[in-house]
Amino acid sequence: MTERVDTLRTIETPEGVELTLRVAGPVPRAMAWVVDGFLRACGYVLVGFGLAFLGDTGTGLFLIVLFLGEWLYPVGFEVYNKGETPGKLLFGLAVVHDDGTPVGWNASLLRNLLRVADFLPFAYLLGILSMLISRDFKRLGDLAAGTVVTYRRGIFRAQQLPAAAPVPAPVPLRLDEQRAIIDFAARSEEWTQERVEELAELLTDLSGAEGEAGAKRLYGLARWLQGSR
């Protein structure tokens, strides 16, 4: 139900490949935030009981844990778990850069540090107003960091690929690289053969071939990335 009020965003890469993102609205993001808040609260209670017997030392340690939990919990999960905190994972959401690439340390730190501004004057009022005004439902932290929250399952489109024997990737590929290869294969029929071969030339190091042969190997790699074996 929550996806119906959200929107699709199409991003064109410098290579002319289009990626489609389904931007998440305030409601699913709020639900994910509640889940993450509940998990942190449970953790604080458990740690508090464990440190209660240490007196003032325990209080000091608890304050350190509280600080780290509030500021590093979301950043750590976003950077090391493909943009997903446990709450976002539960609702199929992920934080990515505006161009669809995985979020990095700088962007994640900035967007989470600015939660203080989003909270003003109370109850995240400024952040909610920012999301309602923004075309991509961005709070202030997202605007400053150049990030957007999307549905994870909406990042890839259902695509028909040219017939080709699946070819395994010779090296590990980032998520954005996988998307670019799949979209290249899916859109190849819209371009002239010359344009296809021109784009394929950019990836000769990956395909190990040039011209038409290189394009066909990229088709095979795209099919392998989509699960064909």
Q: What is the pLDDT of residue 53?
A: 87
Whole-angstrom distance, CA of residue 184 vs CA of residue 189: 9
Q: Of how many residues is the chain composed?
A: 229
Q: What is the pLDDT of residue 225?
A: 84
Residue type, 214: G
Whole-angstrom distance, CA of residue 101 vs CA of residue 17: 14
Whole-angstrom distance, CA of residue 14 vs CA of residue 89: 30
Q: What is the pLDDT of residue 65?
A: 94
Q: What is the pLDDT of residue 155?
A: 47
Q: Is this prediction's pTM over 0.85?
A: no
Q: What is the pLDDT of residue 156?
A: 44
> Where are the chain's structural domains?
2-154, 175-221
Distance, CA of 218 to chain centre: 24
pLDDT digit of tens for each residue in the chain (229 aa)? 344 444 677 666 554 455 678 899 899 999 999 999 999 999 999 999 999 888 889 899 999 999 999 989 999 999 999 899 999 999 999 999 988 888 999 999 999 999 989 888 888 889 889 998 988 899 999 999 999 999 886 444 445 788 888 988 888 888 778 888 888 888 888 788 888 888 888 888 888 888 899 899 999 998 888 777 6
8-state DSSP, 189: G
Residue 195 φ/ψ, nearest 5 degrees: -65, -40
Q: How far is CA 8 from CA 100, 107, 144, 157, 199, in A?
A: 12, 22, 21, 11, 26
